[in-house]
Structure 1
Amino acid sequence: MSTQDIIIRKIVKEDIYVVQNFLQGQLQDLFSQEGQLAIMDDIWGLEKLYIEPDRNQMWAAFASDDRVIGTIATCEYNDRIQVLKKRYSHHITAEIGRCYIEKTLRRQGIGSRLLKEVEAFCCEKEYETIYLHTHRFLPGGFHFWEKQGFRIVVEEQGDAQIVHMEKSVASK
């Protein structure tokens, strides 16, 4: 498959089922079974979280056969993470989540293309900072974000190997 044939666009209601299936498969591949239930709520509520709100959005990369091969989402940060309490203002901080690329297509620029969509959206919505967290054990995750200009703000110890990162939104 040529990466030039890949179409990246905002998801719409009609995409929800295929996007949910893609995300569920990614979580099963990357995370332990026990931890999945705690991190699935947003997947079942894609429309309410990423389609309806004006300042939130999800994009998907589609192959020429309409298969979802990558996703990324952003929403207003909600100050839910204890180690970051009061660090960010929700109105000017966007959070990236659900950035996954089909295993066989990683390292071909799809994630970078998805991130460009997020950055343009964040500029348009007047966010000042983009926050995300990743895990060191995810294949390529931390290094990808580092290459994209994100910097570590907090690194948590423990089995989850959570790394909290941020990047300023460049004005256009």
Structure 2
Amino acid sequence: MIFEDNVTIVSIGKMQIDEVVDYVRSVRRHLFPMLDHDVLPRDLCAFEETYIKDKDGVFLVARDSNDNIIGTIGMLKYDGRFTDHFNFGDSSVTEVVKLFVEPHWRRRGLASYLVQCLKDIAAERDVQNLYMHTHPFLPGAEVFWAKQSFNNLISSVHDGLETIHMVMQIES
């Protein structure tokens, strides 16, 4: 997939896992300084199983002409951890995670393009719903996701953070 002449979007394979996990950890430290960064999230600990081997998983990386990572997005099987707030029933639900775009590349359409690539993959895989959550302290995040056709489900407090839960139905 090509975003611009000098930007490519690729699915991650085994050979890139360490580089991508290091990148995501760095971005998380910056965006979420309040988290314990010595504890790696489950998906990063089991990256290959989550994003490469699992049929519901994929992790996309945007690279510039110098092969630098300039953006990421992933999707993985939703684990139901918020069922005390809402329930999808028997619907197929995949979670969108780790949308990051380097500051220099923001407001140029790259984040929207990454989301569209993920929606296309979800449609090909017959995913019924894409779920994601964001936080009010991330500037413009809720508005961005609404522009991507995600609808608000509910807001809640999770691990001490106000969390906005959003979902979109995928047209096959």
What amino acid maps onto 2:55 in structure 1? Answer: D
Displacement after TM superposition at 1:40 (Å): 2.7
Distance 2:157 2:34 in 1: 21
Return closer, same or farther for 1:62/1:88 CA change in 2, 3 Å cut-off.
farther
What amino acid maps onto 2:27 in structure 1? Answer: Q
More helix by share: 1
2:57 aligns with: 56
What amino acid maps onto 1:80 in structure 2? Answer: R
Structure 1 residue 95 corresponds to structure 2 residue 104: no
| Deviations 1:19-63, CA, capped at 9 Å, x for gaps | 112101110110024343456332232111101112211111011
Return closer, same or farther for 1:77/1:41 CA change in 2, 3 Å cut-off.
closer
What amino acid maps onto 1:60 in structure 2? Answer: V
Aligned residues: 169
1:25 aligns with: 26
Distance 2:40 2:138 in 1: 15
| Deviations 1:104-154, CA, capped at 9 Å, x for gaps | 211211111111111111111111111000111113322210111111101
1:154 aligns with: 154
The 5 A counterparts of 1:20-169 are: 20-37=21-38, 40-89=41-90, 92-157=92-157, 160-169=161-170
Distance 2:168 2:42 in 1: 26
Distance 1:51 1:33 in 2: 29
Distance 1:129 1:73 in 2: 15
Displacement after TM superposition at 1:94 (Å): 1.0
What amino acid maps onto 1:103 in structure 2? Answer: P
Task: Show structure 1 runs of 5+ residues with no match.
Answer: none
More strand by share: 2
The two structures have a TM-score, normalised by structure 1, of 0.88
Query: Once the two structures are aligned, what percentage of the paired residues are identical?
Result: 26
Supply the RMSD in Å over aligned alpha carbons. 2.0
Return closer, same or farther for 1:19/1:52 CA change in 2, 3 Å cut-off.
same
SS of the counterpart of 1:156?
A: strand
Work out whether residues 135 and 141 of structure 1, in 8 Å CA contact, stay in contact via their aligned partners in 2: yes
Work out whether residues 85 and 156 of structure 2, in 8 Å CA contact, stay in contact via their aligned partners in 1: no
Return closer, same or farther for 1:38/1:133 CA change in 2, 3 Å cut-off.
farther
Work out whether residues 130 and 169 of structure 1, in 8 Å CA contact, stay in contact via their aligned partners in 2: yes
SS of the counterpart of 2:61?
A: strand
The two structures have a TM-score, normalised by structure 2, of 0.88
Work out whether residues 26 and 100 of structure 1, in 8 Å CA contact, stay in contact via their aligned partners in 2: yes
Work out whether residues 95 and 130 of structure 2, in 8 Å CA contact, stay in contact via their aligned partners in 1: yes
Distance 2:70 2:19 in 1: 10
